[in-house]
Amino acid sequence: MSGAEERGEARYDVPLTVPGPDAEPARRNGHRRAAAAAAEPTMKATPAAGDEPDTSTDEPAPAPRTGEPGDAPKKPLAKKAVAKKAVAKKAVAKKATAEPAGSGDRPGDVTPSGPAVADRPGDHWDRKVAKGLAFLRRRLAGDYEVDEFGFDPDLTDAVFHPLVRLLYRDWFRTEVSGIEHVPADGAGLVVGNHSGTVALDALVLATALHDRHPARRYLRLLGADLVFRMPVVSEIARKTGGTVACNPDAERLLGNGELVGVFPEGFKGVGKLYADRYKLQRFGRGGFVSAALRTGTPIVPVAIVGGEEIYPMLADIKPLARLLKLPYFPVTPTFPWLGPLGMVPLPSKWLIEFCPPIPTAHLRDSADDPLVVFNLADQVRETIQQTLHRLLERRPDPFGP
């Protein structure tokens, strides 16, 4: 247990500026109940335990430690599996030479040792390794499904969510409230405030919603076309459930009963200066409202506090942005001064609150009525803005525990 507690202490040592390159992110954080942390069983023997997304908050009870629940896709270990595989390859190679002699000497000894290990019901690590390898095999054989938008749930669960989980839970100490306002089934349009110079809030929102929602719903994000112009980034966006922010896609997703996440401020929200933090920008034409109206989908406003402080944008070098064809070129206290180190987000404290859904089913015929659309957009905007103010009062210190 001491390991967990030590790291718990270390959390308070997290510098409020940028940590060093080798600094450990705060692992055990204050907002989590001590009991949950204490329930952490004895698994520290393995050095890699620190990297593992811990299960204490996601699992209802520490019992799954012995028998992982069937809803497997939660926390596999792609990265590690790769590393392990490399190690294991060596081991296998070694064995290949050592084994014939070994098995010849004591045939009764070597053979049972394999299954004996596997059958140990409490062997958490064996299960993880097996799962990781199965994942790797599935990926290499192409045995997974991709939907028409390119969403790859297998990859999202195994790689993307665990990575973002480290970020939102351990680095940003995110607290989520009002998750009961997100519909358990059927379509829903989650509308949030955008911030942070780099749109990490979208990733955090999607992962936190998936983790905290009882139905483990995926949030299908709508992104700017700039995202889909960039190689690599575009594919990450698609594979994790994103698609281009346009009405046909939004309506198709909502028509399929998906949960869609949208940030109507767009780049105006992400690229605003630190001085304008938590001031909602213009909502554009309200295309998201007409998509919701046309499909009769409830709108769930969500306020995200914490995103503004991760990369406080002090200035925007517009000529450079134009040269690079970017919507803005940020100057933060750390970027571009510290080079790649400036890419490390500051460990602000995050609060996410989902507000009660706004029904739209009765307004289905008014999707083209600009008055209805703008009124509804304003209502959503006001709700988010007021919730932001309330959350900010609850969080006096942006970098508090």
Q: Is 44 a residue that touches other proteins (CB under 8 A)? A: no
Structure tokens, 331: 């100057």
Q: Is 368 a residue that touches other proteins (CB under 8 A)? A: no
Q: Is 127 a residue that touches other proteins (CB under 8 A)? A: no
Residue 373 host element (H or E): helix 370-394
The strand ranges marked E within 9-108 are none
Q: Is 13 a residue that touches other proteins (CB under 8 A)? A: no
Q: Is 92 a residue that touches other proteins (CB under 8 A)? A: yes
8 Å CB contact between 288 and 250: yes
Q: At closest approach, how far in Å is the CB of 118 from other proteins?
A: 6
Binding residue count for other proteins, defined by CB under 8 A: 50
Per CB under 8 A, the segment of 61-69, 126-134, 267-275, 303-311 that binds other proteins is 126-134
Q: At closest approach, how far in Å is the CB of 48 from other proteins?
A: 13
Q: Is 243 a residue that touches other proteins (CB under 8 A)? A: yes
Q: Is 61 a residue that touches other proteins (CB under 8 A)? A: no
Indicate which single residue of 63, 117, 315, 323 sits in contact with other proteins (rule: CB under 8 A).
117
Using the minimum distance from each CB to other proteins, give the nearer residue, 137 or 285.
137
Q: Is 294 a residue that touches other proteins (CB under 8 A)? A: no
Indicate which single residue of 7, 239, 272, 381 sits in contact with other proteins (rule: CB under 8 A).
239
Sign of CA dihedral 339, 10, 312, 197: positive
At position 258, the amino acid (one-letter code) is E
Within residues 146-165, the interface with other proteins by CB under 8 A covers 146-150, 152
Per CB under 8 A, the segment of 199-207, 243-251, 263-271, 354-362 that binds other proteins is 243-251
In degrees and rounded to multiples of 5, residue 53 shows phi and psi of -60, 120
CA–CA separation, 162 vs 74, rounded Å?
8
Using the minimum distance from each CB to other proteins, give the nearer residue, 226 or 317.
226
Binding site for other proteins (CB under 8 A): 84-85, 88-89, 91-92, 95, 110, 113-114, 116-118, 125-126, 129-130, 133-134, 136-137, 139-144, 146-150, 152, 225, 228-235, 238-239, 243-244, 246, 248-249, 252
